């Protein structure tokens, strides 16, 4: 049974609210995937903070209308699952990782900060480390000179202590 007009408006409003704060939307075709696999995908998306939903394409087009994601409407054909995230990489990473293990999930397109992405672009975006990993790497780079300086001072102090002891 289809949705009535009020239900459709509610779905569009809910998706529009997610799209308003999103940085990335990734679209994939899910034809032929078992329900148990989709449940696993939804659980993984939920744990990563990604909004994942199967939508009627007409409702999705209305939700992205007038936003930076409007160019994505051209790719909205067929049975699609929509992955929407506030994190720039999370939506692409969840879908791309799942597509590696399940060949029936086919990446179709994506949009990052208003820029249309093809399949290669979505895959490249998914290969970027997460925000937490990037922050940890930056912190390591920032700490390297200080920790190196501390090791040199400790070595000089140890050598000076050896010469005084002798």
Q: 61: which 2 tokens?
A: 């087009």
Q: What confidence tens digit (pLDDT) does each residue in 113-156 have?
A: 888 888 888 888 888 887 788 888 888 888 888 888 888 888 88
Q: What confidence tens digit (pLDDT) does each residue in 89-118 have?
A: 888 899 998 988 888 888 899 998 888 888
Q: Three-class SS of residue 21?
A: helix
Positive or negative: CA dihedral 34, 37, 43, 49: negative
pTM value is: 0.74
């Amino acid at each position: 049974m289809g949705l009535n007009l009020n239900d459709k408006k509610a779905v569009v409003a809910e998706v529009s609210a997610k799209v308003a704060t999103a940085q990335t939307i990734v679209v994939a075709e899910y034809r032929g995937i078992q329900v148990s696999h989709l449940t696993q995908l939804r659980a993984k998306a939920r744990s990563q903070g990604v909004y994942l939903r199967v939508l009627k394409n007409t409702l999705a087009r209305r939700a992205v209308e007038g936003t930076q994601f409007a160019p994505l409407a051209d790719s909205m054909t067929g049975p699609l699952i929509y992955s929407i995230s506030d994190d720039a990489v999370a939506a692409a990473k969840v879908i791309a990782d799942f597509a590696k293990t399940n060949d029936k999930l086919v990446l179709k397109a994506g949009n990052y900060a208003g820029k249309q992405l093809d399949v290669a672009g979505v895959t490249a975006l998914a290969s970027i480390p997460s925000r937490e990993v990037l922050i940890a790497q930056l912190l390591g780079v920032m700490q390297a000179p200080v920790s190196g300086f501390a090791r040199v001072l400790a070595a000089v102090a140890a050598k000076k202590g050896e010469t005084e002891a002798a």
